[in-house]
Amino acid sequence: MAVATLVSLSAGGWWSLPFWLISLFVLQFFRDPARHAPMGEGLVLSPADGRIVAVEETDDPWLKRRALKISVFMNVFNVHSNRAPVDGEVKGQWYHPGKFVNAELAKASMENERNALWFRTPAGRDVTCVQVAGLIARRILCYARVGGCFQRGQRYGFIRFGSRVDVYLPTDARPRVSLGDKVRACSDVLAQL
């Protein structure tokens, strides 16, 4: 905004228009609105804003088990703050550098830069939440550490510019979303444990 203001003062309105547009885009992208988590036993909340691109049974590469995988794709207009999907303790964390292919594609889950967190709920259920960088994204931020405890909906990280979050749940979890559904972090329920 400082550059846009400086160009406005020195060169005039039309020359500063591109700088104001860039400033507005950046402000919109880095917004992080307050949200309230719904109450209920065994709810798995969406860790990100976006669109559901996968609801399938597959292998959880982090915990070496069969799992229900639900993936949320975030475009550049979504809020990119990531939130804990469940109440629980962080039992493990894995970071892998990787490529930057389109995060909407299934192969992004295994090829792109990613950071995985293993949450164990008070009821002993294991949930893996994976931040996956996208085509433009070049920075995954994760504030969680092994041993830390989170409440569902609590912020734990941020991915800059287009990405996805994969959630791996026990196979007996009941999905409450379908392909193409739009979800909001902390506000919408992905599944029931």
Secondary structure of the chain as H, E, C letters: CHHHHHHHHHHCHHHHHHHHHHHHHHHHHCCCCCCCCCCCCCEEECCCCEEEEEEEEEEECCCCEEEEEEEEEECCCCCCEEECCCCEEEEEEEEECCECCCCCCCCHHHHECEEEEEEECCCCCEEEEEEEECCCCCCEEECCCCCCEECCCCEEEEECCCEEEEEEECCCCEECCCCCCEECCCCCEEEEC
CATH code of 167's domain: 2.70.70.10
Banded pLDDT at 186 (limits 50, 70, 90): confident
Are 3 and 68 found together in one domain? no
Residue 35 within a domain? no
Are 79 and 151 found together in one domain? yes
Query: In terms of residue numbers, what domain contains 13?
Result: 1-30
Residue with tokens 């734990």: 156
Give the Cα separation of 114 and 98 in Å (integer).
7
Are 73 and 9 found together in one domain? no
| pLDDT tens for each residue of 101-140 | 776 777 878 888 889 999 999 999 999 999 998 776 567 8
Are 159 and 71 found together in one domain? yes
Are 78 and 54 found together in one domain? yes
The count of domains in the chain is: 2
Residue 17 within a domain? yes
Task: Give the rounded percent of residues in the chain with a pLDDT score beyond 70.
Answer: 79
Burial code of 55-64, b = ≥16 C-beta within 10 A, e = fewer?
beeeebbbbe
Residue 36 within a domain? no
Annotated active-site residue 16? The verdict is no
Residue 160 within a domain? yes
Are 52 and 94 found together in one domain? yes
Is 95 a residue whose pLDDT tops 60? yes
Banded pLDDT at 190 (limits 50, 70, 90): very high
Question: Does this model's pTM top 0.85?
Answer: no
Are 103 and 18 found together in one domain? no
Are 6 and 49 found together in one domain? no
Is 94 a residue whose pLDDT tops 90? yes
The mean pLDDT value of the chain amounts to: 84
Banded pLDDT at 26 (limits 50, 70, 90): low
Are 3 and 75 found together in one domain? no
| pLDDT tens for each residue of 158-168 | 887 668 899 99
CA quadruple 96, 97, 103, 105: dihedral sign: negative
Is 44 a residue whose pLDDT tops 80? yes
Are 84 and 18 found together in one domain? no
Banded pLDDT at 29 (limits 50, 70, 90): low
Among 109, 163, 178, 187, the one annotated catalytic? 163
Are 12 and 90 found together in one domain? no
Residue with tokens 């029931």: 192
